[in-house]
Amino acid sequence: MKPNDCANILKSPTQKIGDSAEKSAKRFLKKQGLKFITNNYRTRYGEIDLIMQQQDTLVFIEVRLRNNPHYGTGAESVTLSKQRCIIHAAHQYLQQEVPHPSPWNACRFDVVSMGVAIDWIQGAFTLD
């Protein structure tokens, strides 16, 4: 038994599906040339699904899965409130986890919408 097997036993079916979607998104993004840094970065503000690097840009990624297109795309479910939570969590990550001076020249917020196909929306939202 692997160490994560015990943690997976405690997860709901929905959490397991979400984990699978995040793993698929990570594989997809790595094939696009992004470098994996960490996943499921948790703060009191919320969680960032994936943090990756694309050249000199640090990319904070929200992964959304929608099995039924009648409810809209995964990207459409990233509300303004959710965006604010991700931005606050990213700010904390930058303050606590990134060495100074930072190795990155920029940061970006992307959404990977999983459904029938993978839709990668670069710069899906900004600090404005």
pLDDT reported for residue 49: 96
Edge to edge, the sheet with strand 57-65 lists 35-42, 47-54, 57-65, 106-114, 118-125
pLDDT reported for residue 17: 67
- Residue stretches of the chain with pLDDT short of 50: 1, 3-7
Beta bridge partners of 60: 51, 109
Q: How many residues does the chain have?
A: 128
pLDDT digit string (tens) for 47-65?
A: 999 999 999 999 999 999 8
* Total domains present in the chain: 1
pLDDT reported for residue 109: 97
Beta bridge partners of 38: 51
CB neighbourhood size of 89 (10 A): 20
pLDDT > 70: what percent of the chain?
Answer: 81
Give the CATH number of the domain where residue 114 resides.
3.40.1350.10
Structural domain for 44, as ranges:
3-125
- 8 A C-beta contact, residue 106 and residue 64: no
Q: Which of 64, 80, 60 is nearest to 72 (CA)?
A: 64
pLDDT reported for residue 7: 47
